[in-house]
Amino acid sequence: MNRPVCFPGFLDGLRYLGDGFRLDPEFVHFGSVDELLKLQETFAEREGTEFTIIRDDWIAAQMGEAAESFVGTTDPTEKTHYKKICLDLIELGIEMYPDSSEILAAQGTYHRHFGKKENAIEFCKKALELDPDNDDVEEALDELTKAEEVALTLSSEEQAVLVGTYRGEGFPLTEIKLEEDGLKMYIGDFTIAIPLVPQSKMAFSIPENYFGGSVKAKIDKGKVVQITVITTGNGKYTLKPVK
């Protein structure tokens, strides 16, 4: 019989059974897809039974943590590392559990953290169709939908005023672009798109699942002369347009 077990605790025990299960410390937390599948196959052969030690909820949890780690680090190499983990886990989840609400919800989390709001909404809705009682997914969908509704209160022309590149002391070079689903902020060399949610014509909030805070613009003669970025950690930075 194929018996699912709790992967993290089970793996921690396997690490002490023999060299075949001795793994790098980071693997216990994230691990590569190939190693995970090899571990499952090796254990099944050794014990003469089938075990599913890679559960859909574990894949979903690891995907969520990797996405949060991507957002939380400022190191480009680490960002590449965590993004690859997310993509590998998505591929594994779809292959093993194509109809799992956990995997669909995790894909919604992935797209939300990577600034793809429309995709995030789509996967959250699919997850709720399979599991209508999932309060976390419903809450995430409400947040995404409200942000979309607020963004529609400003016209493209009104939002376009902020488009440009900005520089300020103590803060990386920042670019604001107007994309199909609203204004996005790109910080430094990072490719992640941080959505700016309009609160008024010149005040925007930064979603908490990124780093939270706000962006306020100062206008003179129809042009932005400076923006102020305020982060949840009480950091305050004044940026000027790069001409």
Provide the pLDDT for residue 165.
93
Provide the pLDDT for residue 93.
86
| CATH number where 165 lies | 2.40.128
Taking only the tens of pLDDT, the chain with its 243 residues reads 233 334 445 555 554 443 443 334 344 444 455 666 676 677 667 766 665 556 788 788 888 888 878 777 777 788 888 888 888 888 888 888 888 898 998 888 888 777 677 888 899 899 989 888 888 888 878 777 765 555 556 777 888 888 999 998 888 889 999 887 788 999 887 777 888 888 777 888 887 767 778 898 988 888 899 999 888 666 788 999 997
* Residue 67 burial (10 A CB sphere; 0-12, 13-18, 19+): buried
Which range of residues forms the domain containing residue 230?
156-241
Structural domain ending residue among the three candidates 132, 150, 168: 150
Note whether 198 and 108 are same-domain residues: no
Q: What is the number of structural domains in the chain?
A: 2
Provide the pLDDT for residue 23.
39
Q: What do you get for the CA distance between the two ends of the chain, in Å? A: 67
Note whether 131 and 172 are same-domain residues: no
**Is pTM, for the whole model, over 0.75?**
no
Q: In Å, what is the CA distance from 64 to each residue of 30, 91, 170, 220?
A: 11, 14, 30, 42
What distance separates the 2 farthest-apart alpha carbons in the chain? 76
Spatial contact of 142 and 150, defined as CB atoms under 8 Å apart:
no
Note whether 145 and 33 are same-domain residues: yes
Provide the pLDDT for residue 136.
82
Give the whole-angstrom CA distance, residue 183 versus residue 161: 10
| CATH number where 134 lies | 1.25.40.10
Among residues 113, 87, 112, the alpha carbon closest in space to that of 125 is found at 112
Note whether 23 and 136 are same-domain residues: yes
Note whether 8 and 119 are same-domain residues: yes
Helices (H), ranges, 48-169: 56-72, 76-96, 101-113, 117-130, 135-151, 156-160
